[in-house]
Structure 1
Amino acid sequence: MGVLDFIKNQLLEIIEWTDDSRDTLSYRYPDDDKEIKNGAQLIVRESQMVQFVAAGKYADAFGPGKHTLTTENIPILSTILGWKYGFNSPFKCDVYFVNTRLFTGNKWGTSNPVMMRDKDFGVVRLRAFGTYDFRITDVPKFLKEVAGTDQNFRLDEFADTMRSRIVSVFTEALATAQVPALDVATRYSELGEALLPIINPAMTGKYGLEVTSFVLENVSVPPEVEQAIDKRSSMSVIGNLNDYVKYQMGVGMGQGGDGAAAAAAPAQMAIGFGMAQELMKGMQAQQAPAQTAAAPAAAGGIDVLTPEQAAQALGVSVEDVMASINAGELKARKIGNAFRISRAALEEFLRG
């Protein structure tokens, strides 16, 4: 068996590699004695490049096709001449296959929120994620800086490094562009294309890679900011707040139970306001002759009410009157620590 192994090792090799894994970036041909013989045949397929390493240094690179290798290992003779090295040839060679196809659909994302200044929200934290495609363009640099002498270098061994580099560039570009958070969604494609010229110099110069496509799929804000945006959108959709309150009251009363009770309270208040308005109209009609007679004397006076008097006239509580004043619905003038309400302002409030 030893003689057969010896004879087999002296035969010329046919060196080739087919990849079924879909995630292998580089592959070192498993030649046990690393004594690739002079005249060995190398077969390189499309989407592959081969880097030949002789005596530990990068030598020739081979593209797709069949190639005849020239080495210092002459079958049988080099083994015999290497008797002082234990019948091992000192001329060691390696063959590295590198996958140059496009690696698509690689995911990236910000592990932590990105702080940026936004004109709508001030300082805001954003998260982003997407995908990118890349291929190997500089084989010697990739092997030297990334894969090294690994026999089977896979994508998952390098994904974290790629992701952190891309996120770093994206964060800097987004902060520099000063795009409002609400407008980022309309510029996903624009941002992706604009980032390629920024990402590629770093990738090519450091790792021998080219990012061919950079896709920004989503940029999101923290939950509390999302809730604020939703409330703002809801107010825009509602439009006329008075009509919306009436609609909600009708729905609540139709449902019965607690909803009806909650809806009935504003309705009762509205009825009270209506009754008070009619009462004031009657009082005004009765006082009209007296006011006409006293017009010359009272021409320079202003008819004002305290919140208590306004509450009594409306048939509501003082707290309801103060709530309307604080909400800006009922106009009043604060004098010292007290509020005074003109009868004209009260009538304007009742007219809605």
Structure 2
Amino acid sequence: MGLFDEIKKKLSHEFIDIVEWLDNTDNTIVHRFERYQNEIKNGAKLIVREGQAAVFVSEGRLADVFTPGTYDLETKNLPILATLKGWKYGFNSPFKAEVYFVNTHLFTDEKWGTKNAVILSDERFGLTEIRAFGTYSFRISDPGKFVVDVVGTDGHFTNFEVNEHLKSLIATKFTDTIGEANLPIEMYASNATELSETCREVMQPEFDRVGIELERFYIENVSMPEDLKKEIMEYSRLDKLDMGKLAQFKAAKAMEAAAKNEGGTAGAGMGMGMGFVLAQQMGGMMNPGMLGAQKGAQQPQAAAVPPPMPTAVTYYYAVNGAQQGPVTVDALRNLFASRTVNKDSLVWKQGMDGWKALKDVEELKSFLGGSTPPPLPTS
């Protein structure tokens, strides 16, 4: 290569006429414009496209920031750089400055998550662990501050690099926010939208410190250990149940289980008793006049009328300070056997002047056991 060609090559690198950057990626946040010895020709044209900002740095200090548009780089539109360089009367020679193009468009669908479980204290379940993950969107709101405080001298800065910093910040602020929210453990998942917005507001000042705007923040899932989830589901079901109906249901199931107990005489007797009752009820429904036909043959003019059925005695009882019932004596006996009620549980039936402990009601003392039958009569 001849001397003339070498000089021509050097001059072509030194005297750059156009300063611009065409982004062909989707993850670059900052790109440093490269040229020989950082020299830019006086009067060169700067092109900043939509979604970009151009940051000039001179000798490690922030000089000028250009928003979208086309500029002729002269003293009048480089006021800070001109002050730093000490140009009092303009300049005609090339000048040195680093130019960083900053992507200011919205970066979306960035992932975040808690690396470790977050420990919370719940009034009902004690210390619990949760994990969470989601997405967020951000944009560079102050290109100059971002280049100086975050990028430094990195010539090609991507969203992967900034995400490593942001995810740690998000996890820390998320933990603080949900700790201060003091919600019941099961409410975090059902209030994800409100909690997401609160987290965004809490995190934004920290993002502002480095020139970033947290545009959107989403909590997509809040998870907890499976055993805790099952416990919460059981608790929620019990909270919605009618305890009186639940007691009746348990009593009915206990009677059914006793009737199926083929090895015990009590179960067999109960099964026979239930069978007789059902048979009588079904017989009465199928042919209510049959009994009158059999017993009233001598009085055909008057239909036989059975005596009224005896009214079953029912009791109300108290569980955890709440009134339950009414239930029959047999059902109350089963509740006593299943320890739903005990000898000190309060009971009441129609005709009693007030609530009494089960052990003080004469017809219920048989629940307590220890009853001795009278002696057999002598022949």
TM-score under structure 1 length normalisation: 0.65
SS at match of 1:18: coil
**Is contact 2:189–2:222 with CA below 8 Å preserved after alignment?**
yes
For residues 161-200 of structure 1, the aligned pairs below 5 Å read 161-200=165-204
Retained in 2: the 8 A contact 1:238–1:244?
no
- Match of residue 13 from structure 2: 9
Question: In structure 1, what is the equivalent of residue 222 of structure 2?
Answer: 219
Offset, 1:273: 2.1
- Judged with a 3 Å threshold, the aligned counterparts in structure 2 of structure 1 residues 236 and 346 are, in CA distance, closer, same or farther, namely farther
Q: Give distance in 2, aligned partners of 1:91 and 1:43.
A: 18
Output one character per residue of 1:100-123: Cα deviation in whole Å (capped at 9) or x when no partner: 111111111111111122233222
Identify the residue that residue 47 of structure 2 maps to in structure 1: 43
Shift, 1:26, TM fit: 0.5
- 1:294-322, CA deviations, whole angstroms, 9 ceiling, x for partnerless residues? xxxxxxxxxxxxxxxxxxxxxxxxxxxxx
Tell me the SS of whatever aligns to 2:101.
Answer: strand
Aligned residues: 269
Partner of 2:260: 267
Tell me the alpha carbon deviations over residues 180-229 of structure 1, each in whole angstroms, 9 at most, x when there is no partner. Answer: 11122332111122222211111112x11111111111212222201222
1:114-166 CA-partner distances (Å, limit 9, x unpaired): 11222332222121111111111111211111111111101111212101111
Aligned 8 A contact 1:47 1:100 in 2? yes
Q: Offset at 1:230?
A: 3.7
Q: What residue is the counterpart of 1:122 in the other structure?
A: 126
**Residue 111 (structure 1) aligned to one of 111, 115, 126:** 115
Structure 2: where are the runs of 5+ without partners? 76-92, 274-333, 345-361, 370-379
> What is the DSSP-based 3-state SS (H/G/I as helix, E as strand, rest coil) of the residue aligned with 1:158?
helix
1:1-352 equivalent positions in 2, closer than 5 A: 1-70=5-74, 91-205=95-209, 207-232=210-235, 267-268=260-261, 272-275=266-269, 327-328=338-339, 344=364
Q: For residues 165 and 267 of structure 1, do their structure 2 counterparts lie closer, same or farther at Cα, with a shift above 3 Å needed?
A: same
Shift of 1:92: 2.7
Asked if the contact 2:56/2:100 (under 8 Å) is kept, the reply is yes
Kindly indicate whether the alpha-carbon contact (under 8 Å) linking 2:62 and 2:148 is maintained by their aligned counterparts in 1: no
Secondary structure of the 1:181 match is coil
Deviation string, structure 1 residues 67-109 (Cα, Å, up to 9, x no partner): 11137xxxxxxxxxxxxxxxxx995311100011111111111
The question of whether the paired residues in 2 share the 8 Å contact of 1:50 and 1:95 is answered with: yes
* 1:42 alignment partner AA: L
Superimposed CA distance per residue, residues 18-50 of structure 1 (whole angstroms, 9 cap, x where no aligned partner): 212211111101113211111111100011111
Q: Helix, strand or coil for the counterpart of 1:131?
A: strand
Name the residue aligned to 1:304: none
Residues in 1 aligned to 2:268 and 2:230: alpha-carbon distance in whole angstroms: 37
Q: What is the match of residue 355 of structure 2?
A: none
Q: How far off its partner does 1:3 sit?
A: 3.2
Distance 1:16 1:245 in 2: 83
Distance in 1 (CA, whole Å) between partners of 2:152 and 2:54 is: 14
- The match for 2:306 is none
Shift of 1:6: 2.6
Closer/same/farther in 2, CA of residues 243 and 36 from structure 1, 3 Å limit: same
- Counterpart of 1:161, as a letter, is H
SS in 2 for 1:144: helix
Task: Give percent identity, aligned residues only.
Answer: 35
* Larger mean Cα displacement after TM superposition, 98-107 or 110-119: 110-119
Residue 217 of structure 1 aligns with an amino acid whose one-letter code is E
2: distance between equivalents of 1:164 and 1:30?
32
Change (3 A) 1:195 1:324: closer
Q: Secondary structure at the match of 1:194?
A: helix
Does the C-alpha gap of structure 1 residues 30 and 273 become closer, same or farther in structure 2, counting only changes over 3 Å? same
Q: Work out the CA distance in 1 between the residues paired with 2:16 and 2:342.
A: 102
Could you say if the C-alpha distance between residues 271 and 35 of structure 1 is closer, same or farther in structure 2, counting changes exceeding 3 Å?
A: farther
Higher relative contact order (CA 8 A, sep 6+): 1
Higher helix share: 1
* Structure 2 residue matching 1:22: 3-state secondary structure: coil
Contact 1:54 1:91 in 2 (8 A): no
Contact 2:13 2:35 in 1 (8 A): no
TM-align CA RMSD: 3.8
CA 1:271 to 1:189, structure 2 compared with 1: closer, same or farther past 3 Å?
Answer: farther
